[in-house]
Chain A
Amino acid sequence: MLSFFSKPLIRGGVHAEDHKSLTAELPIVSNFPLPKNLYIPLQQHVGKPAEPVIKVGERVLKGQLLAYSQGMISAPVHAPSSGIIQDVNDYPAPHPSALPIRTIVLETDGLDQWIETQTIEDPFQLTPEDISLRVGAAGIVGLGGATFPTAVKLNMGRENQIETLIINGSECEPYLSCDDRLMQERAMQIIDGVRLMLHGMTNSPEGHLTGKSGIKTGNAVVAIEDNKPLAYKAMQSAAVLYPQIKIIQIPTRYPMGWDRQLIRYVTGKEVPVGCRSSEIGVTIHNVGTAYAVHKAIRHGQPLLNRVVTIAGGAVERPMNVEVPFGTLISELFEFCGVRNDQIARIIMGGPMMGDSLPHTGLPTVKATSGILALTHNELKNAAEQPCIRCASCITVCPAGLRPLDMANNIRINQLDVAVDLGLKDCISCGCCSYICPSNIPLVQYFKYASGEVMARQQAEHKSEQTKRLIDARNARMDRIARQQQDEEQARLAAKAERERLKAEQEALL
């Protein structure tokens, strides 16, 4: 009865048909043939793009640094294999627009020759600062899709009072099973990564002495949706020696993997708008990130590849496959036997939040958790009908928004009202579009409106800037005119003076 009155821990969400079993039951395929050319974008993360350090024509080894991180929030990029640098230029990005971004093209030599790596016997002897330095140098970013540089998060963990480290193993998107398989097959390594992350966030003794902050990170919670019992069992047996790491099952409900939903479910705390989760004592990382941390610290291997789910009705052999970054989607599709004539839409990521891609000539990047080739029957593409105000979008919205009101205002171009209604709090999870009986592409509306609001603000900013420049110019012109006038008057006065003196002299003579 008490629980009836307490705040609900899960808000909104939908039960989407998960389509996971086809790939979740097969082992990760790791013999993907090395592509001839790799197209490695310099921006595969949130923040500033990396800056290349190699020259065209140079030979690089696997794991060699290709581009270093610039600025506070950025991540370096490494060579996924050995070979010759062919080009550093603009190539289409894996984005709905496929607009070109700076990309390094690497022609592989098939040797897959590693650069010398440093294996560390006991990484717990390293200082926490050293851990995050190494994580940053390995180019590790959040592999759940947000691609926020992991080292920055670890640093924030040390600077704030973190009570819980949450490892997100929910994988709530339909079709995707890369995290599931990773947990089933490499649970020990993930748990090791979690321990290293905990170590990386503990304050070193010096920090305690200076009294800068008293970090007490010591507990980690790995949250796994209850539709992955095998992953749960594997992780539990891997974590049995480490009482500080708790493995829990969470209800299967999209979007449980939304970090803020998961934080509320696990800790009961809500992250205020405009704050980072570390400010309320929680840090959240993906299981894939933990695995990457393990590889980087234990074996000195930078982030070069990841497990990608290839699935969808048009795929003959759906699978989870470990692919080097820069592999073109077309090569992946060929490997998995995708029937090109049946593809109705190509999606990067899951079907709820993922973006559709215009073609397959795009590379896989750090954010690529899955590539789906969906057939016409799998898609929701019936004609749009008028909104009947059924309010199911309000019921399913995990952020507590009113999608129908926002969409109505966007339709009549009242974007300010949409912003007041909470447009900026939309997480584009896709629940509203999923549930809408009238097939209204609500998320599309919101993304359009957000972009438009931003563009308007920029235009406003620009016109203000122009106005300021014009004002400054007018003031300058006025000043110059006044100066000239003054000079003219001074000149006239001087001339009059001269004439007077001359007249006086003449008079004297």
Chain B
Amino acid sequence: MITHFKPSSGAHVGANASVTHIMWQVMLAMMPATAFGLWCFGWPALNLFVITVLSAVIFEAFCLRLAGKIAKPVIMDGSAVLTGWLVAMTLPPWAPWWIGVVGSGIAIVLGKQVYGGLGQNLFNPAMLARIALLISFPIEMTTWANVSPLFFSQSPSLAESWHITFSGLENIDAHTGATTLGFIKTEFSQNHLLTDILKDYSAFLNFIGWSRGSLGETSALLLGLGGVWLIRQKVIQWYIPASLLLTVALLASIFHLIDSQHYVSPLLHLSSGAIMCVAFFVATDYVTSPNTPTGQLVFGTGCGLLIFVIRTWGAYPEGAGFAVLLMNSATPLIDHYIHPRIYGRDRKGKPLEIPKS
């Protein structure tokens, strides 16, 4: 007779999924866009990326130690690396080192650990960090480096990159400019028409990511491909990205058709700014988005609506971060009202009536 203790019920076998696996798949999906961004913006971007990810891990370990937990297994789940990675993707590529450190600090400490760690936070940590930085340090957060790929003659060398990252950029005007959305916003304020504003604009270069912008957010093409791969891998579902992008595209089309001189075309909306990154990698965050397909459609539509409104009529050229945070705060409410119907009960939870035959 063999004795086995620890009796337990419920599925004794399991699917091949783990939190770590999910995190790594998301990072793999972000890899092409990040690699392209790092190449486009050279050594300073790489410095900033490494600093941001490393400090995210260090902040996480610090918080866990403070809470009296063993840090290593929690670090190994990859969520801190992912958060640091997402923060880095949203930063201006040549931002100074302390922007990355402060960003990671806000994301990990204020965005995640004060709520109780993984799975407990109300707001997406990376977007919280982005918005906090944007409001606190508007100059650093809107200094956009020109595209200056690695190993090109006019690009900064590794030694120069240390200088840019740690003691700041000299001769700013020669190396920086405005993002597409930022440029359009300032030009609109001077009552210029869209045809004049977009004289030098190339939709193709903007689409593949050859333009000024955040470190990992410029390439709509690679972000989109990574996102579609994630959907195919069943890591995320299509509801949020599709509803978000469709809402923006639909609203932009309507206004663009009404007045093509004052409202940007839907294609430009979709290929500029943070929208692709947000739609596939930020708004789909499990922790801060609703649980049901219908709830996710509502959430995505709300994000899309807010992005369009802020971009078109707001003071900021890009509203994706604000939109996600606002909708994050609505997530508990959405989950409260939209939930699946229990078998044998109606939507209100009352038992079904016996059909009369």
Residues of A within 8 A of B (CB): 11, 14, 16-17, 96-97, 161, 163, 174, 260, 269-275, 279-281, 330, 340, 343-347, 351-361, 372, 374, 378-380, 382-383, 385-392, 394, 397-402, 404-405, 422, 425, 428, 430-431, 433-439, 441-444, 447
Contact call A391/B119, Cβ cutoff below 8 A:
no
Query: B66 on the interface (CB 8 Å rule)?
Result: no
Expressed in whole angstroms, the minimum distance between the Cβ of B194 and any Cβ of chain A is 40
Inter-chain CA distance A444–B6, complex, in Å, is 12
Expressed in whole angstroms, the minimum distance between the Cβ of B48 and any Cβ of chain A is 27
Chain B residues with CB under 8 Å of A438's CB are 18-19
Expressed in whole angstroms, the minimum distance between the Cβ of B272 and any Cβ of chain A is 30
19 inter-chain pairs at a CB distance below 8 angstroms, sorted by A residue, are A96-B8, A270-B344, A351-B11, A353-B10, A356-B7, A359-B2, A359-B3, A374-B12, A382-B18, A385-B118, A388-B22, A388-B79, A392-B17, A398-B343, A405-B335, A425-B344, A435-B15, A436-B14, A444-B10
Among the 9-residue stretches B182-190, B318-326, B346-354, the one with 4 or more Cβ atoms under 8 Å from chain A is B346-354
Contact call A272/B286, Cβ cutoff below 8 A:
no
Considering the complex of A and B, which 8 residue pairs feature the smallest CB-CB distances, nearest first? A443-B10, A380-B14, A430-B11, A434-B11, A272-B352, A96-B7, A273-B344, A391-B291
Contact call B11/A433, Cβ cutoff below 8 A:
yes
Residues of B within 8 A of A (CB): 1-15, 17-19, 21-22, 73, 77, 79, 117-120, 286-287, 291-292, 335, 339-345, 349, 351-355, 357
Contact of B342 among A352, A356, A425 (CB under 8 A): A425
Expressed in whole angstroms, the minimum distance between the Cβ of A265 and any Cβ of chain B is 12
Chain B residues with CB under 8 Å of A372's CB are 12
Contact call B4/A346, Cβ cutoff below 8 A:
yes
Contact call B344/A428, Cβ cutoff below 8 A:
no
Contact of A11 among B3, B19, B343, B352 (CB under 8 A): B343
Chain A residues with CB under 8 Å of B349's CB are 422
Chain B residues with CB under 8 Å of A388's CB are 19, 22, 79, 118-119, 286-287
Inter-chain CA distance A11–B19, complex, in Å, is 25
Contact call B343/A356, Cβ cutoff below 8 A:
no
Expressed in whole angstroms, the minimum distance between the Cβ of A105 and any Cβ of chain B is 16
Contact call A425/B4, Cβ cutoff below 8 A:
no
Contact call A447/B291, Cβ cutoff below 8 A:
no
Contact call A279/B77, Cβ cutoff below 8 A:
no
- CB nearest neighbor in A for B22: A437
Expressed in whole angstroms, the minimum distance between the Cβ of B207 and any Cβ of chain A is 31
Contact call A437/B19, Cβ cutoff below 8 A:
yes
Expressed in whole angstroms, the minimum distance between the Cβ of A89 and any Cβ of chain B is 19
Query: Taking A272-B353, A355-B7, A358-B3 as contacts, is the C-beta distance between A394 and B287 under 8 angstroms?
Result: no
Contact of A444 among B2, B9, B18 (CB under 8 A): B9
Expressed in whole angstroms, the minimum distance between the Cβ of B356 and any Cβ of chain A is 10
Inter-chain CA distance A8–B3, complex, in Å, is 45
Inter-chain CA distance A461–B354, complex, in Å, is 32
